[in-house]
A and B are shown apart, each in its own frame.
Chain A
Amino acid sequence: MTALIPDESALTAGTTVRPGRRYGFFTDTTLCIGCKACEVACKEWNALPADIPGLTGMSYDNTVDLSADTWRHVLFVEKIAPQAGGERVTTMPPFQSNWLMMSDVCKHCSPAPCLEACPTGSLFRTEFDTVVVQQDICNGCGYCVPACPFGVVDLNLSDGKAHKCTLCYDRLKGGLEPACAKSCPTDSIQFGEIDDLTERARGRVEELRGLGRDDAYLYGAPGTPGATGGIERLNAFFLLTDRPEVYNLPEHPTRPAERFAPGMAAGLAAVAGLTLAAALLFGRNGGGDGGRP
């Protein structure tokens, strides 16, 4: 496919998309204004159905979570009075919102637990180092769902298959920036090559710390919280100013395979033990069946 504007992403995101390089998102939550343009752009581009569950009463969040039909989710945490019933503040520290907003998305982990759990090869790593479900191969076994430490992958009840963010695989092939990042008016969602993004993100953390925001940190970049438990990095990583749990992110995500070796050893030991016990128990009566009346 030839795009209308070759390498459009060079114009919109300052990066060209080429196979063999690693791409992802850097989401700077200190710039998110909660406009949800990313949610709409994602659903429009990917032709995802709306859920329309009704008013939740949870701040301005009526999307609630990521799902098979929702691949971007803007989360709202109101802290207008730091303590419930306390004084509402009027002065805010630099780039610290009293109403936290974050656009959540599939992390495109490396290595990716969902991909490792997939028995059919439907989930695969693309030439852009992103993780995508191939819909024609997915058999709906659902192993990927509990494998994901972030609760991202979800089965669609109507087709029974797993769905999640593709990091706009089709757009990347056409040289376009992913829809959510392109629509973000404040560049809270930034698309680019992982190394560039990581460097930029580290610079941003330094900048914020220089302004007195000592609590700014990266979540998911190599060597930072979020890139733990055998996950080397999240290709969609975040800049946060509060504990991960406040953003509904696990403090210490772990790749299930990481638990596999000790788990396997314990499992094998248990099986061996049981086998031995069975042998002891039943072996005593070995051949005794014939002796029964």
Chain B
Amino acid sequence: MPSLGATYGRGAATLPQWDVANADAILIMGSNMAESHPIAYRFVLQAKQKGATVMHADPRFTRTSAMADLYAPVRAGSDIAFLGGIIRHILENDLWFREYALHYTNLATIIDERFRGADELDGVFSGWDEEGRRYVYDSWQYEGMTVPSSLAEHHVNTTESFNDETKRLSHAPVPQDLTLEHPNCVYRIMRRHYARYTPEMVERVTGCPADVFLKVCEALTRNSGRERTATICYAVGWTHHSTGVQIIRAAAIIQALLGNVGRPGGGILALRGHTSIQGSTDIPTLYNMLPGYLPMPHAYKPHDTLKDYLEIEETPTGWWSNFPKYAVSLFRAWYGDAATPGNDWGYDWLPRIVGDHSQLPLTLAVRDGIIKGLFVMGQNPVVGSSNAGMVRRGLANLEWMVVRDFTETETAAFWHHGDARPQDIATEVFLMPCTFAGEKAGSFTNTHRLVQWHDAVVEGPGDSRSELWFMHHLALRVKALYAGSTDPKDAPVRHLTWDYPVRGPKQEPDAEAVLKEINGYTWASDPAERRQIADFKDLKDDGSTACGCWIYCGAFPADDHNKTRDRTPDGPDGPGTHLNWAFAWPSNRRTLNNRASADPDGKPWSERKRLLWWDAEQERWTGHDEPDFPEEKPPHFEPDWDSKPTGMDAITGNDPFIMIADGKASLFVPSGLKDGPLPTHYEPLESPVPNPLYKQQGNPTAKRWEHDDNELHPIGDPAHPYVLTTYRLTEHHSGGAPTRSVPTTAELQPEGFAEIPPELAAELGITTLDWVVLETARGAIETRALVTERLRPFVIDGRRVHQIGMPWHYGWHGYATGDIANVLTACVGDPNTSMHENKALTCALRKGRLAR
């Protein structure tokens, strides 16, 4: 989540799920929390039982709306207009938490005089390069200094490399005007930027009645401040847009203005879309990061040597100045004794990326025959990927594909279904049985960074093997193939340490040994002499420590203590941070930026919302949570600017956002985002209406991947007049393999369908259970109609707009079947994350069936 990374410094939920129970108001938007995160939703209901106001803003009335106090209907893809309206409401009515926002955010910071906002340039910011379809970021910087972005998810994607200018951060405090009079201070810029997001405009763009919108504003602001806090929960309903990152940014701005970050019951709960998805960005399955959010070396960036890489990516001030320690310790863990100061600790053995290698461009590369072989693990892309018809056609161009799953998925079966002609498909498919969670040991990192261990409780059946077993033995076989090679290009494989102990007749690797390495230990060639490290403060850049992922340091702090196994909850008397229940990164801190739970003097904002405070006697931060701040830095600490301080020495005693170079939450983001320093409403790339707010229609930097097999509809296309949003059901899991193939879950939602509002159904003569055909430029599918008031027609900028909803879980295999909704969707993406826009597109609808 580069959005939360760029705003608060870390791309992760700021609070534990259970802390939502302490909120006084909860806004759920971009999430159908009751259906997609039913277990976390218990905490919403606990808060509600204590009197909290629960609000749900969504294109569809769902099981979440049903349990809310207030439901705000919004057109799919209009979220920034809604949130921008809230920002305007807060600023224009002076409802922001003054002491908090003035000191803990960059609200007072002065921006370069060359900056021009989207309000002046009709939807783009200064620095727009029309030819290159990209921004030059100079004019977005703080006056007189260049501010590097916090290292976070997709860092390499989202940031440029910086030069000596960033070093000026250690020369003086950032330029601020605490009177907020300066015309180019962030406060003034934001007021100008959001001036047009009036309640009337919100209604015109989103379709949400202005009075309902104002009720949301009122509940959020009434429940924020010293005595009260509000939480915002979101999920993939925000990320799956061409503006996904900026939608989340808008929420992050609201929470920072209202003083809701780092405090009990306040913050942003990023509900991850999958089991352990947080873990898969911490120790990434993403192509552009190394473990712990370290940037992946890039061939076209000045990353030639380790020295270059560290200098360019190191943030001079703030916690990220420790980055070299984490990088060198990672290389030590990977390359062991082969890593030496003379060979840059093996830095040259890391592959370089050359561009965007994420899922969507990968899909197109498979389609065009550029990629020859594919491993598919924990995924069912023929159902779950955008433009799924193209995905399926593309698989026929592979030479080989390995699918590891516990049943034959649609992906594994692509070559013998429907119009596929097996005699024409040369792809060799290897379907290998995998084990399920209960059949293997390992850890899950849940949505709030909590790492919890689980043991294998039963042996997997037949020839099934865990993913760990597969990767381990694959690595050993690959290493054996290269063992005798003297070719330098094979060195990365030869030098990789691979000494995990195995157990039992199946030679299953010891998963705890992997976690020990992830946690980190003092380096010794002899494993018996290695000692576990308990805190990442003890990691070094001299090769004396090895650590697989620095933020997980503390998860396995001693040889005999796997902290992720700890299961002691706090009792009913509190404090309720449950520090002895498993491990949360970083350093078991449950609420990020929790220094902000105290006022600038270090005192709790109120008795009711105590979390962390400065103990003047002990001269340290104390409280109910692990401090996310240097324990002994007093609240009134000021850097000695004459000494050109670096790292944490340049952070004052009231800068809670320690992962940001200036220690303040970035309401205005000078670096780190491709599409602008402030969230701006753009229409989805496929939209039934012109952008009512600006001349600029869509996100100018959005990724489009133009391809004959990936066409988009024009704006207001009369052939595709309806908005389509795809979604999940609580009864099924993602691509459906684990639930459609199990009878007891399959029967709960046994067949695909599309939700259609009664007004549209009446126009088209459709009744419930009729067959209907949905069609886009990418493909056509048939499904059953479910006519329901959960969807409502909108009037958008004077036009009537209908929305259709369709779950995307279905495919042709298993007990619960249906056409694949993703056949309709397109490969387009957010410029920062390359995340697709399957939550808002346009389509055609008619009654009837497809001729097949």
Contacts and interface: CB of A to CB of B under 8 A. Distances in A.
Given A31-B45, A57-B769, A90-B73, A80 B38 contact: no
B748 A185 contact: no
B730 interface: yes
B731 interface: yes
6 contacts: A35-B730, A62-B750, A91-B212, A92-B69, A97-B67, A186-B38
Interface string A9-48: 0000000000000000000000101111101100110001
Interface stretch (B380-388, B706-714, B739-747): B739-747
Given A90-B72, A186-B41, A50 B747 contact: yes
Nearest to B770: A57
A81 interface: yes
B353 interface: no
B751 A54 contact: yes
B784 interface: yes
Interface in B742-801: 743-751, 753, 758, 768-769, 784, 786, 788-790, 792
Contacts of A186: 38, 41-42, 45
Q: Which of A85, A88, A101 has the most CB of B within 10 A?
A: A88
Contacts of B614: none
A63 B748 contact: yes
A29 B96 CA distance: 38
Most chain A beta-carbon contacts within 10 A, residue among B45, B48, B758:
B45
A134 interface: no
Q: What is the size category of the interface that chain B forms with chain A?
A: 35 or more
A291 interface: no
A51 B747 contact: yes
B41 A78 contact: no
Contacts of A31: 45
A63 B747 CA distance: 7
Contacts of A80: 61, 788-790
Interface in B613-653: none
Contacts of A54: 750-751
A55 B784 contact: yes
A85 B757 CA distance: 11
- Among B39, B729, B815, the most chain A Cβ lie within 10 Å of the Cβ of B39
A52 B815 contact: yes
Interface string A72-115: 00000010110001001111101101110100000000000000
A286 interface: no
B342 to A, nearest CB: 55
Given A33-B38, A90-B71, A187-B42, A55 B66 contact: no
Contacts of A60: 63, 729, 731, 749
A90 B41 contact: no
B34 interface: yes
B215 interface: yes
A91 B748 contact: no
B61 A88 contact: yes
Given A33-B38, A55-B750, A92-B69, 7 more contacts: A33-B41, A34-B730, A51-B747, A80-B788, A91-B212, A99-B66, A101-B66
A293 interface: no
Given A185-B41, A186-B38, A99 B63 contact: yes
Contact of A90 (B38, B70, B749, B768): B70
A88 B745 CA distance: 31
A49 interface: yes
Nearest to A211: B51
A53 interface: yes
A127 B70 CA distance: 46
A40 B34 contact: no
B209 interface: yes
Interface in B50-104: 61, 63-73
A40 B816 CA distance: 15
B35 interface: yes
Contact of A33 (B67, B71, B745): B67
Contacts of A99: 61, 63, 65-66
Interface of A: 31, 33-37, 39-40, 43-44, 48-55, 57, 59-60, 62-63, 78, 80-81, 85, 88-92, 94-95, 97-99, 101, 185-187, 207
Interface of A is mostly: loop
Residue from A33, A36, A50, A88 with most neighbouring chain B CB atoms (10 Å) = A33
Contacts of A94: 69
Interface in B176-229: 209, 212, 215
A80 B64 CA distance: 13
Given A78-B789, A88-B789, A91-B215, A39 B748 contact: yes
A39 to B, nearest CB: 7
A50 B744 contact: yes
A36 B748 contact: yes
A178 B760 CA distance: 45
Q: Which 5 A-B pairs have the closest CB atoms?
A: A50-B743, A99-B66, A55-B751, A33-B34, A57-B768
Nearest to A98: B66
Contact of B750 (A37, A53, A89): A53
Contacts of B64: 33
A85 B789 CA distance: 9
Contacts of B786: 55, 57
Contacts of A55: 750-751, 753, 769, 784, 786
B61 A98 contact: yes
B435 to A, nearest CB: 18
Contacts of B746: 50, 52
A45 to B, nearest CB: 10
Contact of B748 (A62, A95, A97, A207): A62
A80 B66 CA distance: 8
B819 to A, nearest CB: 13
A17 B403 CA distance: 46
Given A88-B789, A90-B212, A185 B747 contact: no
Nearest to A31: B45
Most buried by A among B212, B215, B745, B748: B748
B757 to A, nearest CB: 10
Contacts of A89: 71
A97 B63 CA distance: 9
B70 A78 contact: no
Contacts of A53: 747, 750
A35 B34 contact: yes
A91 B744 contact: no
A85 B787 CA distance: 12
Nearest to A204: B49
A92 B66 CA distance: 8
Nearest to A76: B63
A185 B42 contact: yes
Could you say which of B39, B215, B751, B789 has the most chain A C-beta atoms within 10 Å of its C-beta? B789
B750 A52 contact: yes
A92 B56 CA distance: 11
A33 B750 contact: no
B67 A90 contact: no
